[in-house]
Amino acid sequence: MTTPTLEAPPEPIPSVTSPRKGGKGRMPPGLKHSLPFYSFKPWVKLGSPILLFEHLLKTYGNIAHYRFLGTPIVFINDPEYIREILVTQANSFVKERTVRRMKVLLGEGLITSDDPIHMRQRKIAAPAFHRQRIAAYGDQIVASAVHQREAWRPNQHIDISAASMQLSLEIVARTLFNTEVTADIRSINDEVNTIMDLYNFIVAFPKIESFIHLPIPGIMKFRRSKARLDAVVDRLIHEHREAAARGEPDRGDLLSMLLASKYESDDPTKQTGMSDEQVRDEVLTIFLAGYETVANGLAWTWYLLSQNPAIEAKLHAELDAVLGTGPTQRLPTLADYPVLRYTEQVFAESMRLYPPAWAMGRMSTKPITLGPYTIPSGAHFFFSQYIMGRDPQYFPDPLRFDPDRFTPENKAARHKFTYFPFGGGSRQCIGESFAWMEGVFSIATLAQRWRMNYLGTTPPEVQAKITLRPRDPLMMQLIPR
Ligand code: HEM
């Protein structure tokens, strides 16, 4: 996930080479002058790169470029070029600078690290996210959703965005740490929120690592928050390690799995696990990557269902057919997961219109050829799940909410990289199976009992922060089914 901020100028990269003009090797079309020249235009607005990307797409087509302080930035809306970057030519790219600067928070965790560290960490972490392993979390997801639905009252007004965050936090607590939402979990949540509020400030700092010890107010606040965060996570790691040393059985949570996993190598001296520091980086990474994303995906789903009664009725029909009604109604179990196809299609279609990770970026480490274009080393590349998901080139009548776009036949008829809510290639979301299960079971368990009426008078506005959130509270009236 990434946030291409307009206010955050990329550091000049000395190795940027001028592309040849005209013929093969030319730059994609784009803005003639550097971005600040256009500051007065309505499509250049601090903190709103979606406006700029939409303008580039409309004006220049599926590949366009602009420059910012000498760095070329390419916006891509062509699925084949996206495949080139994420898969085919992936070795010629690293994460772009806003993600790299997040190392001050996430260290060398899976999101921020580069190869060879990333490859090793991914191998160690993979068993904890294996499909069969994730299956064990199904019951905990359902139990958390039951906890929420039992607390709801008929006609109650709730902010479904906040309620989805609460549900997702409980699921993270149970599945990552095997605990309820304790004071420790709340303080992790609070500190992460404090740090995320400082996110734009932090990523705007070129070479933030060099400034991290200076007495600058925002940085001091970050440092204090990070120190408290580390202390809580270190304590949880320590407790888990102690329990394992006492011979207590594997608690089955993700943290226990990460602590137990070893790097498989032909060389026995390299078959080691992670240090406590590496585990801490991964725990924070998983917390950050896996909590707000799913919560936002769910919140938008409830909004879309509230606006589309026929689709809501079809979802209810599936839930009633699979899980029963009245006194014979039961909770979803693992065996139901592959049967709840329409529920999954609803979640998929919701993430087309409101993708929690709304844009991604990379930086080239070599000159890159894409079709007729050659783009120099050190250029930045962005593509947006949000823009592509709403583009009639790929999704006819794009604003219509239609989960049938995700039947197996309709999916097979589209290019894979027209829909990439979880990214792709070797950096594809490691929590994808987890997220699908969390989405499907949460929707099923809550929609078995409740419908929602949207109380807003205008459609909610999106806020493209690190994830795509509703800008204001998403108020709903709860109606029992
Ligand atoms: C709807 C929910 C989610 C969405 C939309 C989402 C999206 C993404 C995307 C787009 C990436 C790739 C970023 C890039 O390549 O630049 C990613 C990576 C990642 N995600 Fe997720 N994610 C979700 C849920 C989760 C969950 C539940 C977890 C963990 C429990 C998780 C853990 C991670 C990690 C660790 C990475 C880095 C993987 C690597 O580089 O090896 N995510 N996610």
Name 453's bridge partners: 477
- Determine contact, residues 350/297, Cβ cutoff 8 Å: yes
**pLDDT at 14 exceeding the cut of 60:** no
- Asked if pLDDT for residue 45 goes beyond 70, the answer is yes
pLDDT of res. 20: 45
Alpha-carbon separation of residue 219 from 12, 201, 464 (angstroms): 23, 9, 23
> For ligand 1, atom 15, which residue shows the shortest CA distance?
427
Of 288 and 380, more confident: 380
Distance from C-alpha of 347 to C-alpha of 441, rounded to nearest angstrom: 11
Looking at residue 26, its amino acid is: R
Host H or E run for residue 275: none
Does 429 carry a binding-site annotation? yes
Per DSSP bridges, beta strands 71-76 and 380-383 are: parallel
Cβ–ligand 1 contact at 423 (below 6 Å):
yes
Average pLDDT, rounded, for the chain: 89
Mean pLDDT computed over 28-53: 92
**Measured distance between the N- and C-terminal CA atoms of the chain, rounded to whole angstroms:** 37
Ligand 1 nearest atom to the CA of residue 118, by list position: 41
For ligand 1, is residue 297 a contact (CB within 6 Å)? yes
In the predicted structure, residue 324 carries a pLDDT above the cut 90? yes
Would you say residue 352 has pLDDT above 90?
yes
Task: Give whichever of 177-181, 194-198, 394-398 has the largest mean pLDDT.
Answer: 394-398
Q: For 168-194, what is the mean pLDDT?
A: 85
Q: Is the pLDDT of residue 221 over 90?
A: no
What is the assigned CATH class of domain 30-480?
mainly alpha
The rounded Å distance from CA 125 to ligand 1 centre is 13
For residue range 244-303, list pLDDT tens digits in order.
888 887 778 888 888 888 766 666 666 677 888 889 999 989 988 888 999 999 999 999
For 307, the token pair is 């606006």
Stretch 441-454: mean pLDDT, rounded? Answer: 98
* DSSP H or E run through 159: strand 157-159
Residue nearest ligand 1's atom 41 by CA: 427
Question: pLDDT tier at 206 (50, 70, 90 boundaries)?
Answer: low
Beta bridge mates, 157: 477
> What's the average model confidence in pLDDT over 190-217?
73
Average pLDDT over residues 448-477: 94
How far is 447 from 464, CA to CA, in rounded Å?
A: 27
In whole angstroms, give the CA distance from residue 104 to residue 427. 20
Phi, psi (rounded to 5 degrees) for 462: -90, 150
State which amino acid sits at residue 64.
Answer: A
Greater pLDDT, 333 or 25: 333
Q: Are strands 93-95 and 71-76 parallel, antiparallel or unpaired?
A: unpaired
Instruction: Render pLDDT for 57-86 as a digit per residue (tens, 0 to 9).
Output: 999 999 999 998 889 999 999 999 999 999
| pLDDT of amino acid 109 | 92
Q: How many CB atoms lie within 10 A of CB 124?
A: 22
Nearest 10 degrees: CA dihedral of 433, 186, 192, 294?
30
Instruction: Work out the average pLDDT over 104-123.
Output: 90
Atom of ligand 1 nearest to the CA of 172: 30
Give the distance (Å) from ligand 1 centre to CA of residue 471. 22
What is the percent of the chain with per-residue pLDDT over 90, rounded to a whole number?
Answer: 61
Pocket of ligand 1 contains residue 286 by CB under 6 Å: yes
Q: Is 378 in the pocket of ligand 1 (CB under 6 A)?
A: no
Please state the domain extents for the chain: 30-480
Ligand 1 contact, 429 CB (< 6 A): yes
Q: Give residues with Cβ within 8 angstroms of 338, minimum separation 6.
A: none
Q: What is the DSSP letter of 339?
A: G
Percent of the chain predicted with pLDDT > 70: 91
Task: Supply the pLDDT for residue 129.
Answer: 87
> 422: Cβ below 6 Å to ligand 1?
yes
- Cα–Cα distance measured from residue 370 to residue 375, given in angstroms and rounded to the nearest whole number: 8
Q: How far is the CA of 305 from the centre of ligand 1 (A)?
A: 25
Number of H helices, E strands in the chain: 19, 13
